[in-house]
Amino acid sequence: MKVLLTGFDIFKKEKKNPSWEAIKDMEDIYFEGTEIVTRKLPVEFKKAIEIVSDLLLGIKPDFYIAFGLAGGRTTITVERVAINIMDSKAPDNSGYTPDDEPIFEDGPTAYFSTVPIKKIITNLHNEGIPALISNSAGTYVCNTVFYTGLYISEKYELPTRVGFVHLPYQSDQVLDKNVPSYPIEFIKKAIKVVIKSLISEYNEQNQQK
């Protein structure tokens, strides 16, 4: 079994991005029978689309989970829906500011996540980790990456099931802010639970065959 994880580079005035800080060492952690591949994505609409497409077509993982920062959210949030739109008042790191642009001209309006989101939430709760399902991944680069993963997997008939998880700030990002955060080790614990949930799902499916 192969799992691809992506996180994002820093953006705006932030010096860190927990979506990358929390996954960058996951390749070195042993998950029985599972190969973990981690990659960092730029906070750029067009380049992220290109990189995610190439990664999925090259690696053909069983699961692809993208992680992103949702500063201000109080919990880990597992996204349910990706929509075919890029729209932002703030430019990405390349200076690009899309205005109601489709991600793929031939793509459907939306996709649902293809990973077991309720199982992931249940397993996070069982480990004492606050988590909720979110029905909006926004219209910025996070949603674009999520939608791209689902679009490429469907179009090229890949075996890949795709999901997206938004993370709150890590604690050392908010020393002078009055916003929710979690220690980076706690966020890493949550990501390990997500990975183990995928392994469980994969094993259960194989047993039914």
Give me the domains of the chain, ranges plus CATH numbers: 2-208 (3.40.630.20)
The C-alpha atoms of residue 142 and residue 152 are separated, in whole angstroms, by 16
Q: What is the pLDDT of residue 54?
A: 98
101 is a catalytic site residue: no
Query: In 112-149, which positions are buried (b, 16+ CB within 10 angstroms) versus exposed (e)?
Result: ebbbbbeebbebbeeeebbbeebeebbbbbbbbbbbbb
User: Is the model more confident about 51 or about 205?
Assistant: 51
Contact 9, 41 (CB under 8 A): yes
By C-alpha distance, which of 172, 152, 171, 173 is closest to 161?
Answer: 152
Residue 80 has pLDDT above 70, yes or no: yes
Phi, psi of 68 (to 5 degrees): -145, 165
Give the active site residue among 27, 50, 166, 201.
166
- Contacts with 167 (C-beta within 8 Å, 6 or more apart), sequence order: 18, 19, 22, 67, 68, 69, 70, 76, 187, 190
127 is a catalytic site residue: no
Give the active site residue among 35, 50, 142, 185.
142
The C-alpha atoms of residue 190 and residue 195 are separated, in whole angstroms, by 9
14 is a catalytic site residue: no
Give the active site residue among 14, 79, 101, 185.
79
Residue 31 has pLDDT above 80, yes or no: yes
For 106-125, write each residue's pLDDT tens digit.
Answer: 999 999 999 999 999 999 99
